[in-house]
Structures are given as structure tokens and as C-alpha cells.
Chain A
Amino acid sequence: MLETFTFETALLWLALLAYAGTLASALRAIACGQSAEGAVGLGMTVGLALHTIALALRWTRLGHGPFITLYEVLSSNIWSLLLVYAIAWWRIRAVRAAAPAVLAVVLVLGAWLLAVGEQDGHLPPTYRTVWLYAHVGFGKLFLGAALVAVGIAALILLRSMNVFATRLATLPADVPLEELAFRFLAFAFVFETLMLIVGAIWAQDAWGRYWAWDPLETWSFLTWLALAAFLHLRVTLRAGPRLRACAVIGIFVLAFVTFFGVPFVSTAVHKGMV
């Protein structure tokens, strides 16, 4: 590992360190009933800046985007998840308290990334298309928006369990918080729809078929179906915010397993992150 420790790797490690420091600040603040918005904002900005440079250096060196090897996919997903959250954090105040939950999920991926080790990949012939960039981009927006919804859902559940009560008491009531989570999940649904459409366009020319129910397609569609069911459930059943928050987390778990689990058990040509 030390032999391949480059400037690019050093920047990535520093970015992960910044994210970890941000999580520590956010946890300490929420435990003490404070907000620590300045430290969290600065930590995410510094981490994202370092991470962006690391990804750009890698892209320039290899001549393709970070979506071929497991190392690249994990790294770029950490970056995109935090970027979406950082934008939401900047624009919507209620989302800021969700930093510990969001950063905890991101750092699970960070730990995985460190365990994987740096790998360079070969860009397959069917990957030189704009549709791939659009497919990956919409996928990242989908997962990012869903993660913000999860962060908000976690706040509702933590408050119901009387955890971090002082800080969480300053947030809006459960109903508007759940509505906020629903909004992010609604846009996640739009992005996932676009990801599936664009992916099908790409698959048609990459593998000569637009849809083949391979494991990744099937589980992506199941996630879409679960999202659609959630949106219909909100109209049909008058469930409380806590139950809805649980549903939001359930959907994210399904999406997470689809993105980061199914590719490892699939033998199909459509490998996603593997």
C-alpha cells in the first residue's frame, strides 16, 4: 500500500479524515444539545474540496470517470452523497441536525473504501457513452436525495426515543419534518426513474437489450416499486410520522443493498459497482 501512496491517495485520506472529524464534531454537539453548524459546514467543505481534487486527479490520470472499480465507485459515491447533503444542509436549516446520521452512513462507505485498497480499472468498450455518465449521475442524485430523507427520518425516530432531546427539541415538529423527508424521497423517485430510463437506453446499445431483469435491474426496479408504494401509502393510509420515518429508512436500506450488495452476488454482465 505504501508503495502506491500517491498525492491523489493522500488527498483522499485527508478528505476522509475531514469527514470523520466533522462526524465527531456533529456527534459531540448534538450530545451536548448544541448545533455546531460552523464546524460541520467547514469540515464538509474542506473534505469535499480535497475529495474533488483527488477525484479530478484520478480522472485525469486514467482518462475515465470514477465508476469502474469498487474503489472508484465507493469513493465517488461518498463524494456525491456528501455533496447532495451539503447542498441540502446549506439551503434548508432543518436538515443540519441530520449531519451525524448522514455522516455515519457515509463513513461506513469510507471504512469499506480503506479496506478495499486502491485499484485502477480498464474502461470496457461499451462504457464510452454519454448515457453512462447520465445513468451514474442520476443514480448518485437518487441515492443522495434518499440519504437526506433518511437523515431527517432518523431525527424523527431519535426524538421519539428521547435521544439527544435538547438539540432535537429545537427542530420543527414531526409532521413538517416528515413532509420534508417525503419531499426528498419524492425527488429521489424522480431521479431513480430517470436513472432507470437512461440505464435502459445505455443497456440497449451496450448489451443489445434495454431490459433483461438481471439481478441489478430487478432490485433497482424493486426499489422503484417500494418508493412508488410509499408515495401511494402516504395517500391511502393515515400512518404517523414515526411509521413513515421507518418506511423511509427501509427504502434506503433496499436501495443501499441494491447499489452495494447485489453486484457482488450477480453473475450477469451488468455489474454496477463490481
Chain B
Amino acid sequence: MTAAKAAQKRYFDARRAEAVSLRTVASLRLTLVLFGLLGAALVAVNLTQWPATWLIAVPCALLAVNLLAAIAAHPAFRLRMPLLVFHLALAAVLLLAAMGRMTHLKGELELSTGDTFEGVLTRTQAAPWHRSKLGEVRFTNAGYAIDYAPGVKRGRTANRIVWRDESGFERESVVGDDVPFTLFGYRFYTSFNKGFAPIVRWQPANGSPVQRGTIHLPSYPLHEHGQAQEWTPPGADAKLWLMLKFDEMLLDPERHSQFRLPQRHTLIVREGARRVELAPGGGMDLAQGTLVYEGLTTWMGYTVFSDWTLPWLVVASLVAAAGLAWHFASRFAARSWMSPC
């Protein structure tokens, strides 16, 4: 054998080996095995407390490789355009979902009525590759209305949000549990979590500047009988116990009602054994300063979600569904439903 023939043989052997490897990775039997593996992982995740991400991600990644290899290796995909569209769209869904997992953000925040969000969340779950733009997001909670059906069943929430657009114009939007306010790709939703917030003024005895703010009491009506909170004034040592007291029935279980502030209310403040009941405008002297109860407002708990892949995921999955329907419709149109074989 000449050197040229030997090189040619080596070339063809290598190509043959590549083709065999591709066919193995593209095998439909492997697809079935991976379906089984993914199914087992899902059952394990559902029945145990095992971490979902890796258990699901590994078989999904293997399925994606198997799918791409199948598209490359099987001529059926080139002959049947709808089938190719479906599988390519499915590969796109897998890729986008994986990207979304690596770049998304979930979080929560609370905002008193009249206060402005300045980019700080109370709870954050950011994926490793998330690039935060939250620092640029600004909006003000301008108050809300919540309908309640008989039985104190929460209905629609309409929360007014004031924000500035790119041109600096002030705009107003209405946010709900299922109607997000979207800015810089962050989707803000209202939640069941909301309640009352006493407005207090703290005047330190040492001459430091007066501070004014709100204290968020536990969610209402979820904690209807526990409207109390511990709070330490800024720069002080003593921990105070505050409780909102009112006698009105705000949400009537017998009829439709709306979330509202009580008309008459007082704030009970306890410092050690000392107990003082403050009406709006009333104050009390403490060892390290003076506390004034200015009045009552509300707070709203928001959830925030950011995932740039969302619109692309919708498009890819709808294309996949359309490809699938197209594939079956064209395949079944070839033979009558009355005698399908």
C-alpha cells in the first residue's frame, strides 16, 4: 500500500468513526433513555427534597445534545420541514430556559405609601450571571385599593405607581397581582403581603438630626390580631414594642368591602414596664430622645422578577407548538381518518 492510499484509508476510517459516533449520540433509543432519566429526576424532585436544578439540568443538557446530534444525523429532519422546525424550536427553548436560569433575578420589597423605591430589595435571589440594573429603577407607591368579597376573600389590587420615563416625564401606572409594572426588564407585582405602617418622628436627645419614617406592621388581615412590632429608634439602645389599636371592623366578612385605614386608632408603645398610648400627633419622651406618632399609612409588599429570555421563550415555544401541529396535520392529511392505514 502506498503512503497516499494509507492516508486516504486513515481519512475515510476517521470519517466513518465520526459518523458512527454522531449516530450513537443521535440515537432515538438514547432519546428514550434520557426521557426516562429526566422522568425519574422529576419524580425524585417531586417526592424528595433533593435540589431540583442539577437533577433536571443534567438530563435536559444531555437531551439537548442528543437533539442537536439527531438534527445533524437524521435525514428525516431535512425531509420534513415541520419536524425540523419543532425540534429546532425545542432546542431553542432548552437553551433559553438554561440562559434564563443563569441570568434571572427574583426578589421582594416593601414600600410605604408615598415612599420611593431606590433599588434595594428585602429579599433577593439572583442567578450567577445576573447584571443588576435595579439601582436605576425608581418608582413611588402612590397608594392602593383592594376589593374584598364576603368571607374576607381578597379580590383585585389596584396599586398606583408614579415613575419617570426616559425623557424625565412623570408617569402613572396601575400595578396588580397579575398586572406588572415593568422597568429596565424588572417586572414588579403587588402581593398579598401588605398592611399598616405608623408614621413616626424620632428626635434624638443628643442633638442629632430628626428622623421621620414608617414602621411596617405585620401583614393585614393575615395577622389581624397581631398588629405589633418591635423597633429600635435610630442610634438608640432601647428596643420598643409598638402595637396598633383600633376597634373598627375594617373588612366585613358578611359583605363586599375595601382595604382601608381605621378612622380611629392609637399606637401603644411599651418600653420595658412603661406603657404609653399615643393618638396621632402625640409623643413620648424616652431616655435617648422623643418619639412622636404622626399618623398611619399603608405599605405594600411587591415581588420582582427579571428574565430577559421571557419573550423569546414564548416565541420559541409557540413556534415549537406550531411546528408540531403542522407536522401532524400534514402527515395525517395524506390518509383519510376513516381508513388511516
Contact = CB atoms under 8 A, between A and B. Distances in A.
A225 B156 contact: no
A126 B177 contact: yes
B286 interface: no
B35 A225 contact: yes
Contact of A197 (B157, B321, B325): B321
A94 B154 CA distance: 50
B339 A208 contact: no
B308 to A, nearest CB: 13
B185 interface: no
A206 B178 contact: yes
Nearest to A215: B46
A129 B28 contact: no
A61 interface: no
Interface in A16-70: none
Contacts of B29: 236
Interface in A164-179: 172-173, 175-176, 179
Contacts of A205: 178-180, 189
Given A91-B337, A125-B156, A175-B341, A222 B42 contact: yes
A183 B106 contact: no
Interface stretch (B213-221, B236-244, B245-253, B309-317): B309-317
Contact of B338 (A93, A126, A187, A213): A93
B340 A208 contact: no
Nearest to B316: A197
Contacts of B304: 208
Contacts of A122: 149, 151, 153
Interface centre among B151, B305, B321 (most CB of A within 10 A): B321
A267 to B, nearest CB: 12
Contacts of A228: 35
B107 to A, nearest CB: 10
Nearest to A204: B310
B197 interface: no
A179 B340 contact: yes
Interface string B284-315: 00000000000000000001110000100110
B52 interface: yes
Nearest to A213: B52
Residue among A190, A232, A236 facing the most chain B CB atoms (10 A cut-off): A190
Given A208-B189, A209-B305, A236-B29, A125 B314 contact: no
Contacts of B28: 232, 235-236
A235 B189 CA distance: 46
Contacts of A124: 154
Interface string A175-218: 11001100100110110011001001100111011100101001
A247 to B, nearest CB: 12
Given A125-B156, A176-B340, A236-B29, A210 B324 contact: no
A169 B317 CA distance: 43
A193 B46 contact: no
B23 interface: no
Contacts of B276: none
A175 to B, nearest CB: 5
Interface size class of A (residues with CB under 8 A): 35 or more
B340 A126 contact: no
B340 A180 contact: yes
Given A125-B154, A209-B305, A186 B45 contact: no
Contacts of A180: 337, 340
A226 interface: yes
Contacts of A197: 314, 317-318, 321
Given A128-B156, A187-B328, A213 B45 contact: yes
Contacts of A186: 328, 332
A233 B155 contact: no
Nearest to B328: A186
B228 interface: no
A106 B153 CA distance: 33
Nearest to B46: A218
B39 interface: yes
A226 B35 CA distance: 8
A219 interface: yes
B32 interface: yes
Nearest to B151: A122
A190 B328 contact: yes
A229 interface: yes
A176 B42 contact: no
Interface of A: 91-94, 122, 124-126, 128-129, 172-173, 175-176, 179-180, 183, 186-187, 189-190, 193-194, 197, 200-201, 204-206, 208-210, 213, 215, 218-219, 221-222, 225-226, 228-229, 232-233, 235-236
- 4 tightest Cβ-Cβ pairs between the two chains A and B: A176-B341, A179-B340, A126-B178, A205-B178
Given A193-B321, A229-B39, A232-B28, 13 more contacts: A91-B337, A122-B149, A172-B339, A183-B328, A187-B328, A197-B314, A197-B318, A204-B310, A209-B106, A213-B45, A228-B35, A235-B28, A236-B29
